[in-house]
Structure 1
Amino acid sequence: METPHHRRTITFDVAGSEPDAVEVRGRLVDERPWAERPQDLPVVHDLELAAVVSLADFTVRSVEIRFHTYPHSECPQIAQAYQQLVGVRVGRGWTRAMRERLGGPAGCTHLRELARAMAPVLVQAAFSARVRANPSREGDEDRLRTVLPFLSGTCHIWAPGGVGEQKLDAGWVPGTTAYPVPPVEDFLD
């Protein structure tokens, strides 16, 4: 591929911030890889959204917004609006709740994109944190049942009654097999 006209990079890091919470830090960078002169604006956006989220109920405890690079001097003025996410539960209804509070001119389209993408990242990170804290996997079956409501209906694997649930019912324990996880038939033998 030749030099792109545009590159958007979204990254997330999630780490423990408190014994019962994690900090989710997302960063969005829009670049013009072809731009060599400052007036061509090689970096258009470099924005960061950090949230501390409870692991017990996935409720947002705090939000911090950072504008590193932005096109208009007024852009950072919207940062305070994102405090409206404090107290909101990340899970089903998250995107709707976020849109109601920060949709259109009430927010920033790029920060909304980061906030929207935070939900699936948080689900992955919560499970990863549990596995990391319990390398023996003791009790994982029960813990997974508490995570299942967050996964149910999110994709064809986790459709209600789908292959994810069928594998669990057949005795599969996540983290005990290599990826890709074998077909459900392999667990029924």
Structure 2
Amino acid sequence: MPLPPPDQPREPLHTRTIRVDSFAREDGQWDLEAELVDVKAYDFPTRHGQIKQAGSPIHHMHLRVTINDQFTITAAVADYDAAPYGEHCMQIAPDYRDLVGMNLLRNFRQAVKDRYARTAGCTHMSELAFVLPTVAVQTMANRRRKEQEQVKAGGRPKRPFQLEGCHALSLDSEVVREYYPEWYAAPINPSLRTDR
């Protein structure tokens, strides 16, 4: 369901688009390719007296990480098509190879903050990296579903990793009761549940 219409007339100013595509590789690993684009809805003068046209990217950056089946990054590459300070911004791209060795499911966002804090990185490239963990989980969803089916054939399956990952998937939720009944735990105090 879309947001309700605004209650006041308004003028568009800025659009940020983030897109991530994932790919299964022939070597058994996965590539996540992330892209961030920022555009303004109006023309404005640059520091050099030129006019930046509406819709022309201010930021346009790319980040590819390769992950193994444990969600550990085995390769990383960053690149820029547009940045507000040109080559001064772009020279940080090679430093994002330091993502290698980080695990997307083990404190990843904090590890990125620790490694690329303030002047050690690019704010926008690091922000782009922050979307990778949830995309990686979605990338592996079909594989994990097949693993669960194989385990189920041989006995009790392993608890699905997504349970307890958000309010809708808490073990005492209606969603878990309906879709994952073998993992459902009745609430200790039902009056405290907010989804009923």
Q: Same fold (TM over 0.5)?
A: yes
Structure 1: distance between partners of 2:159 and 2:120: 32
Q: Residue 121 of structure 1 aligns with which residue?
A: 135
Letter paired with 1:121: V
Structure 1 residues 157, 9: CA separation in 2 closer, same or farther (over 3 Å shift)? same
After TM superposition, the score normalised by the length of structure 2 is: 0.71
Letter paired with 1:30: D
Structure 2: distance between partners of 1:49 and 1:139: 34
Q: Deviations over 1:24-57 (max 9, x none)?
A: 0000000013238862253100000001111x20
Structure 1: distance between partners of 2:28 and 2:123: 30
* 1:21 maps onto 2:35 in alignment: no
Structure 2: distance between partners of 1:116 and 1:88: 12
Letter paired with 1:102: Y
Q: Residue 186 of structure 1 aligns with which residue?
A: none
Q: Cα offset for 1:154? A: 2.7
Identity of aligned residues (%): 26
Q: Cα offset for 1:18? A: 3.2
Q: Give the one of 147, 162, 167 matched to 1:156.
A: 167
Structure 1: distance between partners of 2:159 and 2:71: 11
Structure 2: distance between partners of 1:109 and 1:78: 11
- Structure 1 residue runs of 5 or longer lacking an equivalent are 173-189
Q: Give the one of 77, 100, 103 matched to 1:86.
A: 100
Question: Which structure has the greater CA radius of gyration?
Answer: 2
Deviates more, 1:151-160 or 1:76-85: 151-160
Taking the TM superposition and a 5 Å limit, the aligned residue runs for 1:1-189 are 4-35=12-43, 39-41=51-53, 42-54=56-68, 56-72=69-85, 73-128=87-142, 138-139=149-150, 148-149=160-161, 151-170=162-181
Q: Which has the larger helix fraction? A: 1
After TM superposition, the score normalised by the length of structure 1 is: 0.74
Structure 1 residues 165, 28: CA separation in 2 closer, same or farther (over 3 Å shift)? same
What is the number of residues matched between the two proteins?
164
Q: Deviations over 1:39-82 (max 9, x none)?
A: 2253100000001111x200001001110111112111111221
Q: Residue 3 of structure 2 aligns with which residue?
A: none
Q: Is contact 1:3–1:34 with CA below 8 Å preserved after alignment?
A: no
Structure 1: distance between partners of 2:144 and 2:23: 12
Q: Cα offset for 1:147? A: 7.8
